[in-house]
């Protein structure tokens, strides 16, 4: 099973879901981080080189595969793959539980190629410094304990590929009872 997991934050000023601001996550959510760890532990995580660098380390208890086109890029603590297909070929040697964990470039490619079997999307809303009022929980919107106090610099914002998100959202959405996670799966599409 190939999963894609992402936490997205709604940024109302540009009506976008963003996944990063200035190289950092645009939200803080220990709950979401704990969920991420629980879900991905024991499996294989595939990530872009920039995400690896923001983490500053390989994620423990998981096989890490880092994507880079740079032939000089090597790591002693993780596998390196030169493209997504190579990563997906390596991954099953370690676990059948495969997680594409970002960042923006990797999400975009995976979604455009329709690679994931299942999407785990945490949708966050928070207070933005430049917004006059705290966003209320909208209809059908899942609220995390996200608090945002920085103003994103537009050209440094990494956005989730919204067109594909809407596509998946329309087709595959399913909401968990605990109101913390949306699971979207092709399997559930078959029974809709």
Ligand X SMILES: NC(=O)c1ccc[n+]([C@@H]2O[C@H](COP(=O)([O-])OP(=O)(O)OC[C@H]3O[C@@H](n4cnc5c(N)ncnc54)[C@H](OP(=O)(O)O)[C@@H]3O)[C@@H](O)[C@H]2O)c1
Contacting positions for ligand X (CB under 6 A): 6-7, 19-20, 23-25, 47-51, 54, 67-70, 73, 82-84, 101-106, 109, 158
| Residue in this structure with the two tokens 């596509």, named with its chain if needed | 167
Cβ(8)–Cβ(124) below 8 Å = yes
Nearest CB to ligand X, comparing residues 75 and 135: 75
Looking from the CA of 18 toward its CB, the CA atoms found within 13 Å total: 27
Helices in 24-113 by DSSP H: which ranges? 30-40, 49-55, 84-90, 104-112
Nearest CB to ligand X, comparing residues 14 and 189: 14
What distance, in Å, lies between the first and last C-alpha atoms of the chain? 20
- Distance (Å, rounded) from C-alpha 163 to C-alpha 118? 17
| Measured CA angle at 35 (ends 80, 146), to 5 deg | 105
- Distance (Å, rounded) from C-alpha 30 to C-alpha 145? 8
What is the nearest approach in angstroms of ligand X to the Cβ of residue 188? 22
Structure tokens of 97? Answer: 């539980």
What is the nearest approach in angstroms of ligand X to the Cβ of residue 32? 9
Query: What are the backbone angles phi and psi of residue 92, rounded to the nearest 5°?
Result: -65, -15
What is the nearest approach in angstroms of ligand X to the Cβ of residue 175? 19
What is the nearest approach in angstroms of ligand X to the Cβ of residue 129? 19
Nearest CB to ligand X, comparing residues 89 and 189: 89
Nearest CB to ligand X, comparing residues 109 and 131: 109
* CA 180 to centroid of chain Cα atoms: 15
What is the nearest approach in angstroms of ligand X to the Cβ of residue 181? 13
Nearest CB to ligand X, comparing residues 23 and 42: 23
Nearest CB to ligand X, comparing residues 64 and 132: 64
What is the nearest approach in angstroms of ligand X to the Cβ of residue 24? 6
């Amino acid at each position: 099973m190939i999963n894609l997991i992402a936490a997205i934050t709604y940024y109302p000023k540009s009506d976008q879901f963003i996944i990063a601001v200035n190289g950092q996550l645009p939200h803080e959510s220990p709950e979401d981080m704990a969920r991420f760890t629980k879900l991905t532990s024991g499996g294989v995580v595939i990530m872009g080189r920039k995400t690896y660098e923001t983490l500053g380390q390989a994620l423990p208890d998981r096989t890490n595969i880092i994507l880079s086109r740079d032939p000089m890029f090597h790591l002693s603590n993780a596998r390196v793959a030169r493209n997504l297909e190579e990563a997906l070929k390596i991954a099953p040697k370690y676990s059948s539980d495969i997680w594409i964990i970002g960042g923006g470039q990797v999400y975009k490619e995976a979604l455009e190629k329709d690679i994931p079997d299942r999407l785990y999307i945490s949708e966050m809303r928070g207070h933005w410094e430049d917004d006059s009022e705290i966003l209320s929980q909208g209809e059908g919107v899942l609220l995390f304990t996200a608090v945002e106090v920085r103003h994103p610099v537009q050209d440094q914002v990494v956005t989730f590929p919204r067109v594909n998100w809407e596509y998946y959202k329309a087709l595959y959405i399913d909401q968990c009872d605990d109101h913390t996670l949306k699971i979207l799966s092709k399997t559930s599409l078959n029974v809709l």
